[in-house]
Structure 1
Amino acid sequence: MSAFCAGDASAPLLCGLDEAGRGPLAGPVVASAVILPNDFPPAILNDSKRLSVKKRELAEKIIKEKACWGIGIVSHTVIDEINILEASLLAMKKAYEALSIKFNVWAEGAGVSAKTIYAVADGTFCPDIGCECRSEVKADAKYAPVMAASILAKTCRDAIMIEMDKRYPAYGYARHKGYPTAEHRRICREIGPSPIQRLTFRY
């Protein structure tokens, strides 16, 4: 694992970018941007899909306490309007903008003097953000800040879908989080799409 935390004051800080929710048939796509401090404990990090719910929630708490982070959310209606790829990139852009608002205060508190930020986005495309950025497939398994971003994106989106389950209990969102499981497809065929369904996706 490459740490890429806020260490050498002369080196650019690495901002990790990742999203959760490209594949589901319902709900938003959520992205996160994260810069880690030099003293962040790397042992708690991994690709969010490889962590149990309990470990993700513990990591989320520590990331939010120690890191500079931002969340971006793009709704199902916007996904239908601009397509899921563009919506995912927009969510990353929103996440980076949210991080940028916090950055100066966080850097001062964390004793970080470097101001240049360099971003790595998981996947094959980069969002249009205010710093140099490159994309890399499976970056969420290689770089600690991208792992952290994947964790925040997933925990945020899962929480949203659990809340949507309370509003629309017939759809089972707490179980499958809107992903195209056999159960989800069957329910949509039987009772029709929910109010948060992505109508441009195939069922």
Structure 2
Amino acid sequence: MSNWNTMASYPALDPGFDAKTLINKLSALYVLMQNCWSAKDLTPLRPYFTDAQYAQYDRQLDSGYRQAGLTSHIENIAVLGVTLDRWHVSGDNDEIIATVQARFTQYTTDDKTGKLVRGSKTAKKYMTYEWTISRKHGVITTDGTRTINCPHCNAPLEINKTARCEYCGSIVTVDSVDWVISNIKGIAQRTEGR
């Protein structure tokens, strides 16, 4: 593993890098993640996760909620802050560690009865996460719309709609051209109220 570098040094590697744009993207992605979790459908997240992280997240949702006939409701979501802490090169990838702080309410209901199983509709949860995001080393951030082609059949992709190539059916992530989540770790949690 290489040494970690301060984020101030990253633009030397990628002159087009804009921390504020990435922070805004991660903030929006956090809200999307919570909404997808509540809907029990992670499909919209597929392009933004590594294969391993997506599979882990989907397994957690499947074993904890889908198979049990439960729904986790995550509401009143507020991203309180996102910081880009440090970066390094790991193998063929650049990796950034980001801290995401959020507040939300969370409760679980039984799908058949609608009854509250656990949690609270009013208690506020405060969470701090450490996200590892990665992309191929050497990618340079560019302004404007980027055309992405399927690496399997070279067809143009509409990556915002789905992670599946409409032509050959391959699952595609954006890590060759953009940042994807490769790890999520909860590092602090507290609850206010009941």
Q: Under a length normalisation based on structure 1, what TM-score does the superposition of the two structures give?
A: 0.26
* Larger relative helix fraction: 1
Q: TM-score, normalised by structure 2?
A: 0.26
Ranked by relative contact order (alpha carbons within 8 Å, sequence separation 6 or more), the top structure is 1
